[in-house]
Amino acid sequence: MKELIINSNENDDEIFLVEDGVLLERYRDVNRNNRIEGNIYIGKVQNIIPGLQAAFVNIGESKNAFIHLKDILPKVDSVTEDSVNYESLNIKDFVKPKMPILVEIKRDSYNQKGPRASTHINLPGRLIVLLPNSTFITVSQKIEDSDERNRLIGIVKKALPDNMGAIIRTAAVGKSDDEIERDVSFLIDKWNEIISLEVSEDNLPRLIHKNDDLIDKIIMDLIDSGLDRVIVNSDVVKEKVDKKILEYGKSSIKVVFMEENLLDMYQLEKQILSSENRKVWLKNGGFITIDKTEALTAIDVNSAKFTGKEDLEKTALAVDKEAAVEIAKQIRLRDIGGIIVIDFIDLNHDESRQEVIDIFKRELKKDRSKVQIEGFTKLNLLELTRKHICSN
């Protein structure tokens, strides 16, 4: 049974995705009213930093937003960023101080860094993500069937205006033309409503679209993934969830109110503490360590007590295979985003390394977030990137 448990307190919401009693995902919205990731603003360019090919945009919040040239240039396809020679361009040719600019916040402030902005607006829906300022249509990498990919592209292309693009989400698989067209139409109407707001130079910068709160976002993301019930401890949250489920026509999902401490369910507190440990033991006696820095997350695999009965290559492969499964689980559970570097136990054969990557890829398919595996470096480190689901 797949359940979403929402434990609401006065100052925050704790959200847990549990399957058959096992904690899969955990989020905490400690700034439910202060999160700005996903907000859309009409800001003003404050100052330009030519050496960084970047600018700072006044969005009316406590910190100006940072925007790079690559997030200003129009995105005509899904790989433009890799093919543009930014060194040959000058950001001053594209933005000027005090110039109004429409931006979406892609990453909230953290530590001493301000928010990150982009002119590439994304409006997420249940089945697609609308790209109002782009013209390409792309499909989630998790949809591997070519016939289904082509079917979905055809439906979305027919429903979209010529000047808009979209990302087709995994949840769209198997959905009817009508369902997909309704989602497209809903998002187009939402975008038209956003840009119809009357603004003038006198009232800039200005917030013109507030992001969905975390509960709404996660309900929308999970509504088509086999969710069986939602358990809440707040009347307000129950009303919100009931409304969302009714909106999506998913009457089979039960919403249950419980007054008792929801963290007592499935020994959630114990599972949470375990998910915060730096060291995670593997069943075969090995372990992994997870260390987060400002630049990246480093994960190390150690054989520890496991020596195996075979040669060193087979022993290392056995540990690495189990570690690949556990690392994929921990990355999802801890919502680790950004650059991730994994130091598996060294393997001498390409076939062994490929076996580990294949297992890792299989396990990563369970992750709702976008994960890109870059491959092994010359130093035998596996590099990947992941987009976090929640910034808090």
Which tokens hold the place of 156? 């979305």
Instruction: Say if pTM beats, i.e. exceeds, 0.85.
Output: no
Please check the confidence at residue 228 and state whether its pLDDT lies above 70.
yes
Question: What's residue 247's pLDDT?
Answer: 85
Percent of the chain with pLDDT over 90: 65
Average pLDDT over residues 118-135: 93
Q: Using CA atoms, how far apart are residues 362 and 324, in angstroms rounded to an integer?
A: 10
Report whether the peptide linkage leading into residue 205 is cis, meaning its omega lies within 30 degrees of zero.
Answer: yes
Q: Mean pLDDT check: name the lowest of 73-87, 280-294, 365-379.
A: 73-87
Q: What was the pLDDT predicted at 147?
A: 96
pLDDT of residue 307: 62
pLDDT of 110 reads: 75
The mean-pLDDT minimum among 253-257, 286-290, 350-354 falls in: 350-354
pLDDT of 81 higher than 60? no
Q: How confident is the model at residue 248 (pLDDT cuts 50, 70, 90)?
A: confident
> What is the reported pLDDT for 261?
86
Give the model's pLDDT for residue 313.
81
Question: Residue 371 contacts by C-beta under 8 Å, 6 or more apart in sequence?
Answer: 331, 364, 384, 385, 386, 387
Confidence of residue 121 (pLDDT cuts 50, 70, 90): very high
What would the mean pLDDT of 338-346 be, rounded to a whole number?
94
Q: What is the mean pLDDT of residues 340-344?
A: 96
Q: What is the pLDDT of residue 357?
A: 93
pLDDT in tens, 51-73: 999 999 999 998 999 999 999 99
Answer whether residue 378 shows pLDDT above 90.
no
Mean pLDDT of 316-342: 95
Tell me the C-alpha distance between 3 and 298, whole Å: 31
Q: What is the mean pLDDT of residues 187-194?
A: 94
Average pLDDT of every residue of the chain: 89
CA distance 278 to 336: 13
Residue 82 CA to residue 28 CA, distance in Å, equals: 34
Residue labelled with tokens 């009213």: 33
Give the separation between CA 294 and CA 285, rounded to whole angstroms: 30
pLDDT number for residue 312: 79
Instruction: Record the tokens describing residue 233, joined without a space.
Output: 């401890």
Q: What per-residue confidence (pLDDT) applies to 46?
A: 94
Across the range 352-359, mean pLDDT stands at 92
**Nearest to residue 205, comparing CAs of 67, 103, 72?**
103
Q: State the CB neighbour count (10 A cutoff) for residue 210.
A: 12
Handedness of CA 156, 158, 161, 164 (dihedral sign): positive
DSSP 173-186: TT--HHHHHHHHHH
CA distance 41 to 56: 13
Torsion of CA 335, 339, 342, 348, to 10 degrees: 140
Does residue 380 have a pLDDT over 90?
Answer: no
pLDDT of residue 309 exceeding 60 = no
**Predicted local confidence at residue 9, as pLDDT:** 84
Q: For 136-141, which contacts have Cβ atoms below 8 Å and span 24 or more sequence positions?
A: 136/75, 136/76, 136/77, 136/78, 136/165, 137/165, 137/166, 137/167, 137/168, 138/78, 138/165, 138/166, 138/167, 138/168, 139/167, 139/168, 140/167, 140/168, 140/169, 140/170, 141/370
pLDDT at 78 over 60: no
Contacts of 76 (CB under 8 A, 6+ apart): 134, 135, 136
